[in-house]
Structures are given as C-alpha cells and as structure tokens.
Amino acid sequence: MAHHDPTSARRRHPQLVVEMTNPDGALVQPTESPQRLVDIVFRLREYGIIVVLVVFIAVTTGLQPRFLGQANIRFILLNATIYALLALGETMVVVSRQVDLSVGSVLGLSAYVSSNLFAQVHGIPIPVVFLAGLGIGLVCGVVNGVITAFARVPGLVVTLATLYIIRGIDISIIGGGEVVASSLPAHFVAIGSDSVVGIPYITMCVAVVIAAGAYYLRSFRPGRELYAIGSNPDAARLVGIPIGRRIFTSFVASGAIAGVAGVLWAAYYGTVDSTAGTGYELTVVTAVVVGGVAIFGGSGSVIGAAFGALLLSSIATALYALNVSPFWDPALDGLLLVLAITLDRGIAVRLAGAMRKLTFRHEP
C-alpha cells in the first residue's frame, strides 16, 4: 500500500485535500480515483481466471506432458465451446440480476428438432438448419423474456418453469426415438469435428461470437445498461433505463444463443435423444460465476465467463490425463465455485473499504 501514507496525511489535513484534488490538478494520480480502482480490480478478476487456468495447465502438463498434446487440446476446446457459447448468453442475463435456467432444455429441443430436419427434408441446406435452431431459441427466449420483463416475475422462477415445459415438449416430440449420426449429412457432422491447425472450426466461430458479445457488453449503451440494471435496479429506473426492454432483450439473446448451441451440439455429438443438454443450466451458471460474474449482477465479463467454461473443461480432461477417477470432477467443480465466490467476496469487502477511504478524502 504505497498510497497509504499520503491518504492518511490528507485525511489529517483537510486543506491538503483541496489542493490535491484540484480539478485541473495533475497531482491526482489516476489510480487514486475510485472508478479507476474499480476498473483495475475487475480487470484483475478477469485476468485472475486466466492466471488460474494457465497455472492449472502448467501443473497438469508438468505431471503428464501428454496433456498438451494436439488431440487433447482439441478435445478440451471442443468440450468447452458449447459451454462457453451458452455462458455468453447466461452472462448477459446474470449481469442484469436475473438467471436463465432454461438453456439446457432449449439446447435439447433445438438439437433434436434441427437435426431431425435432415431426415424429414431431403437435401435441406445446413444454414437453414441453423436458422431453425436459432428460431426455436428465439421463441423460447421471447417467452422467458415476456413473462420476466413484462409480468415482472423473477427470471429464476420463470425459467425454472420453462425448463420443465420445454423439456416436456422435447420429450413429447421425440418419444423414445433419437437422431443418430448416420442420418446426418457428412458436411454437418464435419462442422463439429473439423479443425485448422489443431483448433476446431466451431471453437473459432464461437470465439469470434464471444469477442463480439464482449465488445457489445463493454462498449455499447444497451450493454452498459445491463450492468447498471444489475448493479442497482432502482437507480437504473430513475436514470431512465428501459429496464423491461433490456431484460427482455437479454433473455431473447440467451435463448437464441442456446438455440444455435443446440445445432452445434447435434453436429458435435451426432446422437441426439431426449436427454440432450440435461443439467447444462447449472454447469453454465457455475462457469459464469467461476469466471467472475457476480450472481446478483452488476459485474463480470463475457470473456471471464468463457474462461470459466474453459477451466471447467480442462479440469475434467486433466483428471483423465492424470489417471484420477472422473468421480472427482463434480466435487472439484463445486469446490472451485465456492472458492471463487469466497475470493470475490473478499475482494468486494476490501474494495468497499478502499473506496470508502477514497470517497472520504474527496469530501470537503
């Protein structure tokens, strides 16, 4: 704490404060403004997950050099891709202090209906199939969004209900049947498995989408407003943010993303039955929270969430590589989540203390 001494000195000598916080004062160091401090801390949190990931991979590779083999990297990336994509939509919802529990069911429905199109319509172009998945996701997202935003029912409850309803619809459509890889065109299955220089196509596409989403949330007004809503809904309403519309949009986006993720899921796994995507919702929420998104909204980033998904996927693969029983996977994930939120809490408490100190100094 290099700044500790000057701060306390200013607190003891108010006249010094006036001098130091002069509006044109170059004396004020940029790191001392509360906003800068918050920015830095959150960037640290985002980088923190990357550091954890790098350390984890380094340690695992030290123990088992084959962990960084090309095939293994490809496996980890493919595994993380769908979770990371879902985490993008989930982050948009969670930063505005809602949660979308229906993503797993939407993914399952979209995966079945879209891949089943190949059997029903001969020679259907692949982009049309993706559009179908997108459409299913959009419809589900609109339903979630309308009920949450305009009936003002908490998203947790609404999406818990639609989780059941959409899965129920999925099961009634499928019955006992399933789509098998042999009924899918080779081009389509290739989407889920082909790669360039060791990096799968879909991972690259998803990375671009995530980057675009991150940029949007960071730098565009509606994106920033989602953070404002999650940070303090009342303040957001008072400054004129259209809360209902923003929340509606975030649910629609999350649904649409889950719909597309469903098509990718079908291309990746090839076999789709009525259990596709079961339980994904909680894994996605775990990835998002491990990636530094506050569960009650207002902070966190899409990039962090994507790295959270990558970390979870790496852990699962590392257990295989290290010959540890895969039974350890859920326990480690859970432990990681508890550690991550405990750490966040510690940072938040420290930050609140530091901000109080700084704001105190700014008072005349």
Partner 1 sequence: MNPDPVTAAGASAVAPPLHGAETPVPSPTPGVGEPPPSDTGLAHFSRLRVLARWEVALLAAVVVVFVVGRVVSPQFLTSYNLFDMGISNGELAIMALPMMLIIATGEIDLSVSSTLGLASSLLGLLWMHGWPMPAIIVVVLVCGAVLGAFNGFLVTRVGLPSIAVTIGTMLLYAGIGEILLGSNIVSNFPATYTNIGVYGVPGIGLSYSTVIFFGLAIIFGVVLHFTPFGRSIFAMGANQEAAVFSGIRVKRTKTILYIVSGIICSGAGILYTFKLSTAEYDNGTGLVLSVVAIVLLGGVSIFGGTGSIVGVVFAVLIYSGLLDALLLTGFPQQASGIVIGGLLLLSVLVPSVPEFRSRLRAGRHRLRGQAPEAAIAHSGPVAQMRVTGDSSSKAGQGGQPI
Is 337 near partner 1 (CB under 8 A)?
yes
Which residue, 123 or 327, has its beta carbon nearer to partner 1? 327
Distance (Å) of CA 288 to CA 102, 111, 130, 143, 285:
15, 22, 25, 23, 5
CB of 190 to partner 1, least distance (A): 32
The two tokens of residue 268 are 């990746």
- Count of residues touching partner 1 (by CB under 8 A): 77
How far apart (Å, rounded) are the C-alpha atoms in residues 241 and 269? 42
Integer distance in angstroms from the first to the last C-alpha of the chain? 24
The helix (H) or strand (E) run that includes residue 76 is helix 70-95
The two tokens of residue 345 are 């809490």
Contacts of residue 189, defined as CB under 8 A and 6 or more positions apart, other chains included, come to 181, 267, 270
Which residue, 187 or 218, has its beta carbon nearer to partner 1? 218
Among the residue ranges 17-25, 185-193, 258-266, 282-290, the one whose residues contact partner 1 (CB under 8 A): 282-290
Is 354 near partner 1 (CB under 8 A)?
no
How far apart (Å, rounded) are the C-alpha atoms in residues 248 and 97? 13
Which residue, 189 or 229, has its beta carbon nearer to partner 1? 229
Which residue, 193 or 232, has its beta carbon nearer to partner 1? 232
Contacts of residue 225, defined as CB under 8 A and 6 or more positions apart, other chains included, come to 236, 241, 246
Q: φ, ψ for residue 223 (rounded to 5)?
A: -65, -50
Which residue, 158 or 258, has its beta carbon nearer to partner 1? 158
Give residues 25-44 in contact with partner 1 (rule: CB under 8 A): 34-35, 38, 42
* SS3 state of residue 8: helix
CB neighbours (10 Å) of residue 12? 9
Contacts of residue 10, defined as CB under 8 A and 6 or more positions apart, other chains included, come to 16, 17, 20, 361
Is 121 near partner 1 (CB under 8 A)?
no
Among the residue ranges 113-121, 185-193, 227-235, 303-311, the one whose residues contact partner 1 (CB under 8 A): 227-235
CB of 291 to partner 1, least distance (A): 12
Is 160 near partner 1 (CB under 8 A)?
yes
Is 285 near partner 1 (CB under 8 A)?
yes
Contact assessment for residue 77 and residue 299, using Cβ atoms and an 8 Å cutoff: no
Which residue, 42 or 67, has its beta carbon nearer to partner 1? 42
Is 322 near partner 1 (CB under 8 A)?
no
Which residue, 13 or 218, has its beta carbon nearer to partner 1? 218
Is 286 near partner 1 (CB under 8 A)?
yes
Among the residue ranges 187-195, 199-207, 250-258, 271-279, the one whose residues contact partner 1 (CB under 8 A): 271-279
Is 332 near partner 1 (CB under 8 A)?
yes
Is 224 near partner 1 (CB under 8 A)?
yes
CB of 193 to partner 1, least distance (A): 29
How far apart (Å, rounded) are the C-alpha atoms in residues 189 and 99? 32
Q: How many helices (H) and strands (E) does the chain have?
A: 15, 2
Among 9, 208, 282, 322, binds partner 1 (CB under 8 A): 282
How far apart (Å, rounded) are the C-alpha atoms in residues 84 and 91? 10
Which residue, 228 or 306, has its beta carbon nearer to partner 1? 228
Among 238, 240, 323, 364, binds partner 1 (CB under 8 A): 238
Is 356 near partner 1 (CB under 8 A)?
yes
